[in-house]
Structure 1
Amino acid sequence: MRRGIGLVIALGMAYALFHVVFRTGVLAYVGPAKDFIGWVVADPGRAWIALATLVIPHIGLYYLLFEGRK
């Protein structure tokens, strides 16, 4: 149950970041974010790298919060 909750939280955070960056355009006016978005749009194959930069830090957070420590 705890692992499922942690997974849902991580996926929700990843989708929220994706939505803010790629769909709303709120961060498009910030220089580095605009360059990063342009870098991903130039080659859609780079979306995996962008996804990894969002997911990998959350894996550590998931283990820190939800793994049983004995």
Structure 2
Amino acid sequence: MHIDIDKDVCIGAGQCALAAPGVFTQDDDGYSTLLPGREDGAGDPMVREAARACPVGAITVTEG
């Protein structure tokens, strides 16, 4: 699984971190980022839900 966060689109709503706190967090500026070592989603079943929860569609999840 590959997770991409478009930093130019992210508004820092934090819905991803709420949906999948084991994969996403927010940086010092409040924008979404992946936790170290979780760049592949770490098998978390909520990663896709976190992407859907993003109000601006800044997160893309692809297989591979």
Q: TM-score, with normalisation over the residues of structure 2?
A: 0.30
Larger Rg: 1
Q: Which has the higher contact order (CA 8 A, sep 6+)?
A: 2
Which of the two has greater helix per residue? 1
Which of the two has greater strand per residue? 2
Q: TM-score, with normalisation over the residues of structure 1?
A: 0.29
